[in-house]
């Protein structure tokens, strides 16, 4: 429920000093993030940034022929829209909600002003960018060198780290789009994980039953990303230390030409290499 969400559920906002956070909080808007919502398309001029609190946003690279693959995920540890404060203003990737929830939205110019004013905020956001670069690079390596089984384990573990429980609501077709592989490959991989007792899958709902086993079945890519994130970013504060602060809510009643709600373009899975083979 909206009353239970506070900005400090996002780890970056929680890590700010009281003075820095006080300058940003009045300008944050709590917005719903339904499954499949496109925050921006490739080439869009970015006008807002999003601080997820209980949702997951997938960053996808979309090819000219419609094929796509996930290059990174962003949850309550980060921010969506780094192109704004990095100076590029646009990005070649698509941002789409992978797991529904809420986020706090901030006008891009406001963030840029604070980024240039505050060395504290600047340092924190640049550290986050480094973790995102690590995740993007490791994802590329994983997609090229590791099996679909291992890629699925990495995908599930990264998602779990950004959620409050061990359950994920996503179909095999959605996972196939994110990994850039055939659905049959995901079905086969999910079956193996379920048979091993690591997960339970039923009608678009995945429950992780044995996380240590899932980590053991994963490649090293998840651990690399996790270590770098833990090394660079502040550890999240316990919920008991978070104060309830009033932030204006926005249910998208007003019109924002720069952030329309639109359906994602059709995504086709590129069928090349070992990932397109039927097992």
| Position 277 in a domain | no
Residues 212 and 233 in one domain: no
Query: Model pTM?
Result: 0.82
Domain assignment of residue 157, given as a range: 147-218
Residues 45 and 129 in one domain: yes
| Position 279 in a domain | no
Residues 185 and 237 in one domain: no
d(CA 66, CA 90): 19
Q: What is the pLDDT of residue 261?
A: 36
Residues 253 and 152 in one domain: no
| Position 110 in a domain | yes
Residues 55 and 159 in one domain: no
Residues 83 and 201 in one domain: no
| Position 272 in a domain | no
Q: What is the pLDDT of residue 266?
A: 41
| Position 125 in a domain | yes
Residues 111 and 161 in one domain: no
Domain count, the chain: 2
Contact 56, 162 (CB under 8 A): yes
CATH code for the domain in which residue 197 is found: 1.10.10.10
Residues 64 and 89 in one domain: yes
Residues 128 and 42 in one domain: yes
| Position 263 in a domain | no
Q: What is the pLDDT of residue 267?
A: 40
Q: What is the pLDDT of residue 114?
A: 94
Neighbours of 204 (CB within 10 A): 12
Residues 119 and 199 in one domain: no
Contact 94, 38 (CB under 8 A): yes
The burial of 145, by beta-carbon neighbours within 10 Å (0-12 exposed, 13-18 middle, 19 or more buried), is given as exposed
Q: At what angle do helices 221-232 and 119-145 cross, to 10 degrees?
A: 170
Residues 62 and 175 in one domain: no
Residues 131 and 179 in one domain: no
Residues of the chain with pLDDT under 50: 1-2, 246, 248-279
| Position 240 in a domain | yes
| Position 161 in a domain | yes
Q: What is the pLDDT of residue 218?
A: 96
């Amino acid at each position: 429920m909206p009353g239970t969400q506070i900005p400090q559920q996002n780890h970056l906002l929680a890590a700010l000093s009281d003075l820095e956070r006080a300058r940003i909080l009045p300008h944050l808007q709590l917005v719903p993030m339904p499954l499949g919502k496109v925050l921006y398309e490739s080439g869009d001029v970015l006008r807002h940034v999003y601080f997820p609190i209980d949702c997951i946003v997938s960053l996808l690279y979309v090819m000219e022929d419609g094929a796509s693959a996930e290059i990174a995920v962003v949850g309550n540890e980060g921010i969506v829209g780094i192109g704004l404060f990095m100076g590029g203003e646009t990005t070649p990737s698509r941002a789409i909600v992978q797991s529904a929830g809420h986020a706090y939205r901030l006008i891009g110019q406001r963030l840029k002003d604070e980024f240039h004013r505050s060395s504290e905020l600047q340092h924190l956001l640049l550290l986050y960018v480094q973790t995102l670069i690590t995740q993007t690079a490791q994802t590329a390596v994983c997609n090229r060198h590791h099996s679909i089984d291992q890629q699925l384990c990495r995908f599930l573990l990264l998602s779990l780290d950004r959620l409050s429980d061990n359950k994920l609501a996503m179909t095999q077709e959605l996972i196939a789009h994110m990994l850039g592989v055939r659905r049959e490959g995901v079905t086969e991989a999910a079956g193996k994980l379920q048979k091993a007792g690591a997960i339970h899958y039923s009608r678009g709902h995945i429950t992780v039953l044995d996380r240590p086993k899932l980590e053991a079945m994963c490649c090293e890519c998840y651990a690399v990303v996790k270590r770098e994130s833990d090394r660079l970013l502040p550890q999240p504060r316990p919920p008991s230390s978070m104060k309830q602060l009033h932030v204006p809510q926005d249910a998208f009643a007003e019109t924002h030409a720069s952030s329309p709600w639109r359906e994602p373009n059709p995504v086709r899975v590129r069928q090349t290499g070992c990932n397109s083979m039927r097992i």
